[in-house]
Structure 1
């Protein structure tokens, strides 16, 4: 940590700050990782697991990084060879179990 930041934090704590977490900031919210895009990408992946991140980004109309975030963080998928497979088999197993129960 730089000396400048140490002085800044010292000043903030001296003025009464008690937490080290960042405070809420105003800013533009993420619009490409919303529920609409997550469900759209989930449906596309369930239809065809061999789609690339670039293909998904072109179809949905969002950036490749946002597609990767949705696949990894929201859907819990990772790429093995050329197929998207679930990490703990959550997305596809849930879908299969729902279909079996119906």
Structure 2
């Protein structure tokens, strides 16, 4: 963390802030990582684990970043030897 951020956090807490969670802010909510898109990505990946992110973006018509977020954060998948597998299987595939 930079010195500038340390001073900012110090000032915020000294002024009464009690939590480190992000504060509410204006902005556009994410619409590409909704339940419908998560389910569609999951369905496609379970049918063919050799799909690449570009294929998924073309099929579902959402951004590459959104597809990567869905794969990693929502489905807990990771690419290993050109296959999408659950993160818990990474250690098994590395030893073989």
Q: TM-score, normalised by structure 2?
A: 0.75
Residue 69 of structure 2 corresponds to: 69
- The aligned counterpart of 2:39 is 39
Q: What is the number of residues matched between the two proteins?
A: 87
In 1, the alpha carbon distance for the partners of 2:41 and 2:8 equals 46
Segments ≥4 residues shifted beyond 4 Å: 12-16
Where in structure 2 are the equivalents of 1:7-86 lying within 5 Å? Answer: 10=11, 12=12, 15-86=15-86
1:16-60 deviation line (CA, Å, top 9, x unaligned): 444444321121100011101000000000111110001001100
Change (3 A) 1:15 1:36: same
Q: Mark the runs of 5 or more structure 1 residues left unpaired by the alignment.
A: 90-102
How far apart are 1:88 and its partner, in Å? 2.2
Aligned ranges for residues 80-95 of structure 1 at < 5 Å? 80-88=80-88
Point out where structure 2 has 5 or more consecutive residues left out of the alignment.
90-96
- Measured on the aligned residues, the alpha-carbon RMSD in Å equals 2.3
Larger Rg: 1
Moved more, 21-30 or 51-60: 21-30
With normalisation by structure 1, the TM-score equals 0.71
